[in-house]
Amino acid sequence: MRKKFICGNWKMNKTAKEAEEFARNLLEEDLGDKDILIAPTFTSLYPLKELFKAKVKLSAQNLAAYDDGAYTGEVSARIVKEFCDYVIIGHSERRNIFLEDDEIIRKKIKKALENNLKIILCLGEDKETRKSGGAYDFVKNQILTDLKDFEFNKDNLTLAYEPIWAIGSGEVCNREDAQKMCAFIRETLGSLFGDLKDEIRILYGGSVKGENAKDLLECPDIDGALVGGASLKADEFLKIINYKEK
Ligand code: 13P
């Protein structure tokens, strides 16, 4: 049984003060044993760690493809690990704006694993690829290229299907298509990792909000959400966390 995993990716938003305010608002709610994660900017990891303790997990949004050394502006997996257990790798914004290719992504995965960081690997096609019917081949290729020859367990790998056209657009992928792609991702994982595929969590990301969370999260192969914009306000993020009670 895969436990639902609700993750917020803050991207380049919030000062440390604003992050603390969010944390205090979130913690006013009884979160029980729900599996919740926030990926803030690097500068907010420390204050959030102090406030969240074990109640909310923390993730970096990125890490260097290198060990500590002369790489101005970069943050290594070893340094990140001091504050959090997770790291997002391969977000489409990193792939497209910062031109991270599969080779860089594999180097980052290697560094994360060497430093016991758990990986949230993002996948997803753009609009043209979806329209031309190439989405499944595209995502399959991302999985096979990025993950082949690595060893994972059920805890240190999470996948996030984030169709690029649904990110920040308000155009959410409908539940049938999202479920179909997440089931396909699981099947593809099976070709690399066998039965482990049934234990690895697969998230959906792209315009998830309080109002559409239930629809998506009830799908059998969607094990959680990776939320951008709607994770920036505690009350909206809480609606997603508490989607079952809606
Ligand atoms: P939005 O929820 O703002 O569409 O962003 C999704 C995302 O990119 C999360 O990583």
Does the domain spanning 5-245 belong to CATH 3.20.20.70? yes
Contact predicate 187/197, CB 8 Å: yes
| Rounded Cα–Cα distance for residues 174 and 166 (Å) | 10
| Phi and psi torsions of 222, nearest 5° | -100, 110
Residue 106's CB is within 10 A of a number of other CB atoms, namely 19
| Rounded Cα–Cα distance for residues 96 and 139 (Å) | 15
Among the listed residues 93, 100, 125, 162, the single catalytic one is 162
* 91 in active site: yes
Among the listed residues 91, 100, 125, 236, the single catalytic one is 91
Residue from 11, 232, 239 to probe ligand 1 pocket by mutation (most atoms less than 8 Å from CB): 11
Which residue in 51, 47, 58 sits closest to 16, CA to CA? 47
Q: Which residues contact 178 (CB under 8 A, 6 or more apart)?
A: 161, 204, 216, 219, 222
pTM of this structure: 0.97
Per-residue pLDDT 10s for the chain (246 aa) are 899 999 999 999 999 999 999 999 999 998 988 999 999 999 999 999 999 998 999 999 999 999 999 999 999 999 999 999 999 999 999 999 999 999 999 999 999 999 999 999 999 999 999 999 999 999 999 999 999 999 999 999 999 999 999 999 999 999 999 999 999 999 999 999 999 999 999 999 999 999 999 999 999 999 999 999 999 999 999 999 999 875
Query: Domain-by-domain residue ranges, the chain?
Result: 5-245
